[in-house]
């Protein structure tokens, strides 16, 4: 793999950063403040890592103007250094670039429409009526179900499964093991026995959506499950049937959303948090890790539930006290009545 190098001034211009130092040094990679060498660039976004700044050997550091005087090397000044790092990371991404064309081992239905710039990897399956847009990448062993449509510049990694009638927008990124359009958990009970309900809806992913490894998004029972533009889903997330997630919301690993719940825009859900079914969650709601939501949330803000870890001895004592809260509340009410009398 050939190593790319760039003049520091070229990087500064691309990021819209102010440069203090030598514009002609060559940068060939990214690294942490502790590990970077003279031909690498680093960044300081979290003040907790400021203790490493004075001793860094990096050729340049992306940081905010407030930290510039403490930097012993060339600096690129940005109000949001982490965003600068995020943009620059793509310059040095070693991931292989897929070549246009269909691999000889891929199975492609003759009715499928595949743009000439798209790439279909080894042993992929493209079923009837599928449409792949410009510069789409389909990884090895991935299955794209009948009549599904994949928007331009979307990348689908190896071993992803899209069921039939799935719509994926432009510039999406779906990681390995994800399953989109699996049947929702729909059953009718008759005298103690469960009978499966056919799931007739689909799944619609907006533009710029990211779906993590082994995440599952169920198809709708009648209408489609909808994931809005710019939504970011981490690994191992479960999105049940008929859920709607608003634009630019983000969810960390192990989140579970039960059926027919609607999530607003710009929400952030911490890891292992869960939301019960048929609820309404408004815009800009932030759930901290392991929060369980069992009722509607209308107002923006940060919400939490559960208790932090403690020694087992203390936890057991507190668990007993928790069960006594109702009786304690009743006793307090009785004491208040007596004091008022």
Q: What are phi and psi of 253, to 5 degrees?
A: -55, 150
Residue matched to tokens 């990096």: 58
Q: Name the token pair of 69.
A: 């005087």
Report strand pairing: 203-205 vs 137-138.
Answer: unpaired
**Which residues pair with residue 156 across a beta bridge?**
138, 174
- CA 113/CA 146 separation, integer angstroms: 11
Catalytic residue from among 123, 131, 173, 241 = 241
Torsion over CA of 126, 130, 136 and 141, rounded to 10 degrees? -20
* Active-site residue flag, 103: no
Of 208, 103, 106, residue with least CA distance to 154: 208
Other residues' Cβ atoms within 10 Å of the Cβ of residue 66? 10
CB 174 within 8 A of CB 180: yes
227: Cβ contacts below 8 Å, ≥ 6 apart: 203, 204, 205, 206, 209, 217, 233, 239, 245
Other residues' Cβ atoms within 10 Å of the Cβ of residue 187? 11
CB 43 within 8 A of CB 59: no
**Which residues pair with residue 174 across a beta bridge?**
156, 211
The secondary structure of residue 300, as a DSSP letter, is -
Catalytic residues: 241
């Amino acid at each position: 793999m050939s190593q790319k190098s760039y003049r520091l001034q070229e990087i500064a211009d691309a990021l819209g950063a102010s440069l203090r130092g030598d514009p002609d040094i060559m940068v060939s990679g990214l690294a942490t403040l502790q590990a970077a060498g003279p031909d690498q660039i680093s960044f300081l976004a979290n003040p907790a890592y400021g203790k490493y700044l004075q001793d860094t050997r990096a050729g340049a550091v992306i940081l905010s103007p407030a930290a510039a005087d403490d930097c012993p090397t060339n600096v690129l000044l940005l109000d949001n250094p982490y965003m600068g790092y995020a943009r620059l990371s793509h310059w040095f991404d070693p991931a292989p670039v897929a070549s246009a064309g269909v691999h000889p081992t891929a199975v492609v239905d003759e009715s499928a429409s595949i743009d000439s710039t798209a790439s279909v990897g080894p042993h992929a399956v493209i079923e009837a009526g599928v449409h792949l847009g410009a510069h789409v990448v389909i990884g090895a062993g991935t299955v794209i179900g009948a009549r599904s449509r994949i928007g331009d510049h979307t990348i689908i990694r190896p071993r992803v499964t899209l069921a039939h009638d799935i719509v994926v927008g432009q510039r999406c990124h779906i990681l390995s093991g994800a399953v989109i359009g699996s049947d929702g958990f729909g059953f009718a009970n008759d005298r103690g026995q469960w009978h499966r309900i056919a799931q007739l809806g689909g799944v619609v992913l907006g533009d710029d959506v990211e779906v993590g490894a082994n995440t599952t998004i169920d198809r709708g029972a009648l209408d489609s499950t909808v994931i809005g533009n710019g939504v970011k889903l981490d690994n191992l997330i479960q999105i049940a049937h008929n859920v709607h997630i608003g634009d630019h919301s983000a969810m960390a690993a192990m989140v579970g959303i039960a059926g027919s719940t609607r999530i607003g825009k710009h929400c952030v859900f911490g890891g292992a948090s869960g939301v019960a079914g048929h609820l309404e969650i408004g815009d800009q709601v932030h759930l901290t890790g392991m929060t369980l939501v069992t009722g509607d949330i209308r107002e923006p803000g940060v919400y939490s539930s559960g208790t932090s870890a403690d020694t087992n001895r203390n936890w057991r004592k507190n668990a007993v006290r928790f069960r006594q809260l109702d009786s304690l509340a009743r006793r307090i009410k009785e004491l208040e009545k007596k004091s008022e009398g």
